[in-house]
Amino acid sequence: MTSKNNLKNLQIFKQKLVRLNKKEIKLTNIIKLKLEQMKKLSRDKFSYWFGREWIKINQGEKLAEVKKQIIKLYWKIKILEGKKPKYPKNWISEPEKQQALQFSLIKIAEIYLKDLKKTGKYFRACCPFHPDKNPSFTIFEDNHFYCFGCQEHGSVINFIMKIENCSFPKAVKILLNY
Ligand SMILES: [Zn+2]
């Protein structure tokens, strides 16, 4: 490839990146707006939870796709600029994510929840995410949690994000450093 072609491609990629960044902002705003509307419209906790999951599945996937394209494009631009491509700050690779997901939620939860104990098949504790008198926070065999009181739920990464009030990359890093 001649350097003239390189410059032309660089131009195209940069323009595309601008468009994708705009798209990302637009999608983020749509999700925010939909979540707000849904919060107002939901009659009970369950319909709120259901609506939230519905939005995550539909809009969230589109947003994730755009973010993926942005990262790919960022790489291509760096290569064309002759720079050694570096991962964006806080980038979490798929193997890192998978490794973090392997951590036992029971072992992690034990650190935070002093009353965690096995009752029957599952581990239970008073929920750290809502005022809870009877243990509604439950850890299932598939390394996921669910709270029967506030419907909070997710993986070991989600647990760390919620309890440490941190981002996804931060939560993965916390887990990998355990
Ligand atoms: Zn709860």
- Structure confidence by residue, pLDDT tens digits, 23-51: 999 999 999 898 888 888 888 888 888 88
Express as a percent the part of the chain with pLDDT over 70.
Answer: 97
What pTM, to 2 d.p., does this model score?
Answer: 0.57
For residues 108 and 159, give the distance between their C-alpha atoms in angstroms, rounded to a whole number: 9
Q: Are residues 76 and 105 in the same domain?
A: no
Same domain, 22 and 66: yes
CA of 38 to the centre of ligand 1 (A): 20
CA of 153 to the centre of ligand 1 (A): 9
In this structure, what CATH number is given to the domain that contains residue 133? 3.90.580.10
Residues 100, 58 share a domain: no
Q: 169 CA to middle of ligand 1, Å?
A: 24
145-147 and 117-119 beta bridge pairing? unpaired
Average pLDDT score over the chain = 90
What's the structural domain count of the chain?
2
Same structural domain, 102 and 76: no
Model confidence over 141-173: pLDDT tens digits? 999 999 999 999 999 999 999 999 999 999 999
Question: Would you state the pLDDT for residue 85?
Answer: 66
CA of 161 to the centre of ligand 1 (A): 15
**Domain stop point among 29, 58, 80:** 80
CA 81 to CA 44: how far, in whole Å? 53
Pair 25, 73 in one domain: yes
Same domain, 6 and 57: yes
- Together in a domain, 69 and 118: no
Q: Do 111 and 165 sit in the same domain of this protein?
A: yes
**Tokens 């790919």 identify what position?**
72
Q: How far, in Å, is the centroid of ligand 1 from the Cα of 151? A: 6
Q: How far apart are the CA of 27 and the centre of ligand 1, in A? A: 29
- Expressed in angstroms and rounded, the spacing between residue 150 Cα and the centre of ligand 1 is 4
- Cα(133) to ligand 1 centroid in Å equals 10
Last residue of some domain: 22, 54, 80? 80
Return the pLDDT at 174. Answer: 94
The pLDDT of 75-94, averaged and rounded, is 79
Sign for the pseudo-dihedral over CA of 89, 17, 157, 147: positive
Measured in Å, residue 41 CA sits from the centre of ligand 1 at 22
Range of the domain at 10: 2-80
Task: Please report whether residue 6 resides in a domain.
Answer: yes
- Indicate whether 51 and 111 sit together in one domain: no
